[in-house]
Structure 1
Amino acid sequence: MIWTPRVVAALASLALVACSSGSAPDAPPIETPPAAENAEPVNLRVLAFNDFHGALEGPSGKVWVDGEKVETGGAAYLAAHINAERDAVDNALVVAAGDLVGASPLVSALLHDEPTIEVMNALGLEATAVGNHEFDEGYQELQRIAEGGCHPTAGCREGYTYEGPTFSYLAANVRITGEEDTLLPPYIIRDFDGVKVAIIGMTLEDTPSAVVPTAVEGLEFYDEVETVKALLPELEAEGVATAIVLLHEGGVIHGEQTDIGECPDVQGAIVPIAEAMPALVSVIITGHTHAAYVCEFGDKLVTAAQSFGRVVTAIDMTIDRQTGEVLERSARQRAVTRDVEPDAEIATLIDTYAEISAPLAERVVGSLTAPISRERDASGQSPLGKLIADAQLAATAGADIGGAQVAFMNPGGIRSSLEPNAEGNLTFADLHTCQPFGNTLVTMTLTGQQIHTLLEQQWINPDRTHMLGVSEGFSYTWNADAPTGERVDPTSMALNGEVIDLQANYRVTVNNFLSTGGDGFAVLTEGTERVVGPIDLDALVTYVEENSPLSAPEDERVMVIGQSAAAAE
């Protein structure tokens, strides 16, 4: 299908989805005047979330509620809270800001994330932006997810045909090279009592740096602000009064946060983007950074709802029917607490998918003496990052499988801490949730100088540092007060007690995402004598099987000095 604005608008007008209602605490109503009173403004409630990542079952983690952290999440509970908000008003719209799927738990990933799409259909989602994780399996798989059809290799399971979403996947700033139309629709237009509202969806322009190159080969990603500006003539011709942007880019919280409805010193890429958006845009719903905030940047209301379905943002807008001006707007965060009646239809769907995945998910792989956390300390290391690096080194150390001497693990590839069950056991599902991407390990030759460059590139993006987990036997010191590019003392780098020789060659293991320059580690594209090894998850499973019961590594591999480091402790 060619995604012209007229086709998109026509489809959008048919996109209303009937949803079941679960019981939940009453939402504050907003009174909507009858459509016949054309002089009266139109009220609209937008319900938004982001970075769901296939988190169907829950609980998905704790969030701040009234000064304390409360367990939240689970799609059936998310639906119950959304239903309560939606049922309190006449005009409502449910949207998401990308990464609905990708890096998903086994209950969704085993069936190629089709379960998440089915659940979102039942929840009544109407539009979502694409996010970087929607490209994890390549853009052709994204197109299949967005349009329906059987998986190209796994096919459709017996008695079931994947029909695709009843909502719209939006990708206004993504095009196939050489083609005029966007990869997926750029926007939809919804009519609320005669007032037309455009919903524009985009991923971050920097998506290619967040996925393996082959996944986006042949695609072009465009500047977020310029993309919206280019759409203005079309939207104005369609009579659009105001626009809501769903953007899979976000801010980083630098202040202390005890309330998910605050704006605690939010910085990062979203700030200049929001301030530069044209006047037609009134609200920007963001994601990607897994933060929760309600902010005003310039004249834009900017929100984010954390991740994994733990929070839903309720945005109330009052729009002048004659001029299209947004007269009032406000946003509040609603934690997806589990003290409500879950949505029965969605709970049944999830139970069905869980039963399918259970034989693999429940297989016991090994055991832990205590939980192993992915939370990083002042040096940038986490116990789990170190353990995974150890597992990858063990999987590639043999002369016939790479001859690795050191391994590095990116924190973004570690999606959860390891928590044993009551018996101290770890299941396959636990390990899959921790490392869901299925990346292959790549062992390459780097010089000592290139290893130093690799470590310096951890700070190449000041808004999103990517501190690498390092394997046992490797160590170094960095200075938190030193400028970017000069933080690691080369003489502090050591392997098994020997100072790294900047001119010598070393065998280094990383995953294929890093090996192609992911997260800004461009020096890894220079590695030579590459050997492709096992899947990262397989390496972790083997390591757990062979070393259980496991404990968190306690050795100090990375040291940090400087006054900034002392303040962070």
Structure 2
Amino acid sequence: MQRPTLTRLPGSRHRRITAALATALTGALVLALPATQASAGGGHHGGGKHKPGKPPATTELQVLALNDLHGALEPPSGSGGRVTHLHEDGTTSTIEAGGVEYLATALREAREGHKRSVTVAAGDMVGATPLLSALFHDEPTIEALNLMDMDVVGVGNHEFDEGWEELVRLQDGGCHPEDGCYVDGRTYEGSDFPFLAANVVHEDTGKPILAPYVIKNLKGAKVGFIGVTLEGTADIVTQSGIEGIAFLDEAETINKYAKQLKRRGVNAVIALVHEGGYPASSAYNADCGPGGANLSGPIVEISQNTTPMVDALVTGHTHQPYVCSMPDPAGNERLVTSAASNGRLFTELTMEYDWRKRDIVRASVSGSNVVVERERAAADLTGLIGFWDALAGPLGARPVGWIAEDINEDRNLPETPLGNLIADAQLAHARTVDPSTDLALMNPGGIRTDLVHAASGDEGDGVVTFEEAFTVQPFTNYVHIIDLSGEQLLAVLHEQVTGGNAEANRILQPSEGFGYTLDLTRTGADRIVAGSVTIGGEPLDPAATYRVAVNSFLAGGGDAFPTLAEGGNTVVGGIDVDALADYLTAHSSPENPLTAPAADRITVIR
């Protein structure tokens, strides 16, 4: 995608304003719906009773936590902009939530009355971002986090979307090495907070690429924060951006640095872990069950293996909401939290700090997820968004197509209408480059949100703007056309349901004319029913050579599809989001808007 030539306008860096000033600017602050609270041990203890003349034994700390913001500066649309509320009678309702203007207000309100408060995040603050942020290499998101008084961010896999050296630039500042600065006299100054990458190390030295931890001094109460991303990050990011670095085991790394913190006299430790779990309910205020029984997924094992020296785990990656009390290896309850994604929620944790032990009183830790309702916007964030929107607006507002209904993606389903639409778009684009292309495959993780029929701005219902298309596919991958034998193509289908993808539900979305039967009652490679694969209505020939279109991420073996990296005779086409925009333009009009493709290319047996 070509980045626009930007008019150089005079400007100055938006600087952080105090919460008090923000309150004056925005008036009354956001009131969130009540959220179910969880505690590690059942309430606050040792909180303030002391003999006259003696200092209190403990003081209260507050931790406000985010994860997986993904540069959602403006209120996100579709399912990515809603949360589910569980009522006492068991019914549910949805709430429109998110947008950094409202998130800033909610965080400022939450801090009121708390003398010792810290705001942290567990990764994926940037990367897979909407056009407004991605167009400027996510500098707008970092500036928004600065204004929101972010204190510490642990890295996630998407912090590496443009490579680890670009991540260092986002932290340290300076104009982009290729695109430069966007406005004369306005230099990007970097983050006001550190990124933590304890388990991301240089292969030659074994040393972390960024700080492994930070110690925050909260008016004398010292708390250590350790940041790690999932060990499997290398499997789900573009390889060229992580050459020479390695990703280590999450729990082992946390344990190593918890010991270092203890040697430095810091006994209060919180881990920021970009790996997560799957709650039984999608409601943000659902009960997590005794001992976290209603939570599954990788974070459960990580928590079980993380030293009791860690007092809480703030997690992410799965975009799910939960606040679970789970036993640590010593059998003591410990909170494990996640605040969904896109800034729809934040987690509020409160706890007592024991001055004598210099540690958090574990039994006092309690937390809940709080909804970011769209009631009062923070004026400084509104101004920041307006500044960047003025630069990005003309490109983003361009209509590229028309749809008759919502076209949805759902990673819990094997096949979705939006996945099929994107695969069809890539096949159509590939055939303009190489007419012999047989099929296209799209990874579901590269689809970030729905195409929504309702207007998100002034364009009118059913109009798809380039910004909306970009939000669906924000990675600017190129379309690659590769040779695969029929045997290799079958191996790719098997890789969907084996190895690293056995439990990940990474079913590749198929283009029109390609299909097979997926038997979910079986296990492993047997889930792909033998003899069921067809291309253009003909059975797959293991000895034949097929031309397959995939994005550049998949072509490098991403998402644990190593066989795709073996493809030969590669031809590189255009950018994937441009392929989607071109397809929408060619196949829709105001008079004949596009309907959602049927999700019937994979026959599913349950």
TM-score by length of 1: 0.91
Q: Which runs of structure 2 are paired with 1:409-488 in the superposition (5 Å)? A: 409-420=442-453, 421=455, 422-460=460-498, 461-488=501-528
Q: How much has 1:33 moved relative to structure 2?
A: 8.6
Give me the whole-angstrom Cα distance separating, in 2, the residues matched to 1:256 and 1:334. Answer: 16
Q: Which runs of structure 2 are paired with 1:158-557 in the superposition (5 Å)? A: 158-253=184-279, 255-263=280-288, 265-299=294-328, 300-323=334-357, 324-326=359-361, 327-339=363-375, 341-375=376-410, 378=413, 380-398=414-432, 400-401=433-434, 403-420=436-453, 421=455, 422-460=460-498, 461-548=501-588, 549-554=593-598, 556-557=600-601
Which residue, 30, 48, 53 being the options, matches 2:65? Answer: 48
Q: How much has 1:245 moved relative to structure 2?
A: 0.5
Aligned amino acid, residue 496 of structure 1? G
Give me the whole-angstrom Cα distance separating, in 2, the residues matched to 1:402 and 1:440. Answer: 17
Q: How much has 1:25 moved relative to structure 2?
A: 5.0
Instruction: Please give the per-residue CA displacement for 1:290-345, whole angstroms capped at 9, x wherever unaligned.
Output: 00001123233100000000000001111221122424101111011113x22111
Give me the whole-angstrom Cα distance separating, in 1, the residues matched to 2:169 and 2:411. Answer: 37
Instruction: State whether residues 161 and 238 of structure 2, in contact with CA within 8 Å, keep that contact through their aligned partners in structure 1.
Output: yes
Give me the whole-angstrom Cα distance separating, in 2, the residues matched to 1:129 and 1:376. Answer: 25
3-state SS of the aligned residue for 2:374?
coil
Give me the whole-angstrom Cα distance separating, in 1, the residues matched to 2:373 and 2:515. Answer: 42
Give me the whole-angstrom Cα distance separating, in 2, the residues matched to 1:203 and 1:37. Answer: 43
Instruction: State whether residues 146 and 192 of structure 2, in contact with CA within 8 Å, keep that contact through their aligned partners in structure 1.
Output: yes
Give me the whole-angstrom Cα distance separating, in 1, the residues matched to 2:309 and 2:412. Answer: 43
Instruction: Please give the per-residue CA displacement for 1:205-261, whole angstroms capped at 9, x wherever unaligned.
Output: 1110110111111111111111122223421222102100011111123x2333435
Q: How much has 1:519 moved relative to structure 2?
A: 1.1
Q: How much has 1:32 moved relative to structure 2?
A: 7.2
Q: How much has 1:456 moved relative to structure 2?
A: 1.8
Give me the whole-angstrom Cα distance separating, in 2, the residues matched to 1:377 and 1:234. Answer: 40
Aligned amino acid, residue 101 of structure 1? V
Moved more, 461-470 or 260-269: 260-269
Give me the whole-angstrom Cα distance separating, in 2, the residues matched to 1:111 and 1:350. Answer: 12
Give me the whole-angstrom Cα distance separating, in 1, the residues matched to 2:218 and 2:462. Answer: 54
Q: How much has 1:195 moved relative to structure 2?
A: 2.7
Instruction: Please give the per-residue CA displacement for 1:468-487, whole angstroms capped at 9, x wherever unaligned.
Output: 11000111101111111111
Aligned amino acid, residue 145 of structure 1? L
Q: How much has 1:402 moved relative to structure 2?
A: 6.6
Give me the whole-angstrom Cα distance separating, in 2, the residues matched to 1:509 and 1:32. Answer: 64
Give me the whole-angstrom Cα distance separating, in 2, the residues matched to 1:486 and 1:37. Answer: 70
3-state SS of the aligned residue for 2:385?
helix
1:148/1:197 Cα in 2 relative to 1: closer, same or farther (>3 Å)?
same
Which residue, 150, 161, 177 being the options, matches 1:136? Answer: 161
Instruction: State whether residues 486 and 545 of structure 2, in contact with CA within 8 Å, keep that contact through their aligned partners in structure 1.
Output: yes
3-state SS of the aligned residue for 2:422?
helix
| Correspondence 1:94 to 2:116 | no
Aligned amino acid, residue 303 of structure 1? T
Instruction: Please give the per-residue CA displacement for 1:256-291, whole angstroms capped at 9, x wherever unaligned.
Output: 333435327221111111111112101000001100
Aligned amino acid, residue 314 of structure 2? I
Q: How many residue pairs are counted as aligned between the two chains?
A: 542
Instruction: State whether residues 226 and 257 of structure 2, in contact with CA within 8 Å, keep that contact through their aligned partners in structure 1.
Output: no
Give me the whole-angstrom Cα distance separating, in 2, the residues matched to 1:404 and 1:131. Answer: 35
| Correspondence 1:560 to 2:604 | yes
**Structure 1 vs Structure 2: percent identity of aligned residues?**
41
1:59/1:447 Cα in 2 relative to 1: closer, same or farther (>3 Å)?
closer
Instruction: State whether residues 73 and 309 of structure 1, in contact with CA within 8 Å, keep that contact through their aligned partners in structure 2.
Output: yes
3-state SS of the aligned residue for 1:546?
helix
Give me the whole-angstrom Cα distance separating, in 2, the residues matched to 1:527 and 1:336. Answer: 46
RMSD: 2.2
Aligned amino acid, residue 230 of structure 1? K
Give me the whole-angstrom Cα distance separating, in 1, the residues matched to 2:259 and 2:438. Answer: 58
Counterpart for residue 129 of structure 2: 104
Instruction: State whether residues 32 and 89 of structure 1, in contact with CA within 8 Å, keep that contact through their aligned partners in structure 2.
Output: no
1:32/1:531 Cα in 2 relative to 1: closer, same or farther (>3 Å)?
farther
Give me the whole-angstrom Cα distance separating, in 2, the residues matched to 1:179 and 1:18. Answer: 41
TM-score by length of 2: 0.86
Aligned amino acid, residue 439 of structure 1? N
Give me the whole-angstrom Cα distance separating, in 2, the residues matched to 1:263 and 1:130. Answer: 26
3-state SS of the aligned residue for 2:341?
coil
Instruction: State whether residues 39 and 322 of structure 1, in contact with CA within 8 Å, keep that contact through their aligned partners in structure 2.
Output: no
Give me the whole-angstrom Cα distance separating, in 2, the residues matched to 1:330 and 1:429. Answer: 40
Give me the whole-angstrom Cα distance separating, in 1, the residues matched to 2:585 and 2:393. Answer: 20
1:90/1:463 Cα in 2 relative to 1: closer, same or farther (>3 Å)?
farther
Instruction: State whether residues 105 and 433 of structure 1, in contact with CA within 8 Å, keep that contact through their aligned partners in structure 2.
Output: yes
Counterpart for residue 4 of structure 1: none
Unaligned residue ranges in structure 1 (runs of 5+): 1-15
Counterpart for residue 4 of structure 2: none
Which residue, 152, 161, 169 being the options, matches 1:127? Answer: 152
Moved more, 212-221 or 548-557: 548-557
3-state SS of the aligned residue for 1:492?
coil
Moved more, 235-244 or 546-555: 546-555
Q: How much has 1:423 moved relative to structure 2?
A: 4.1
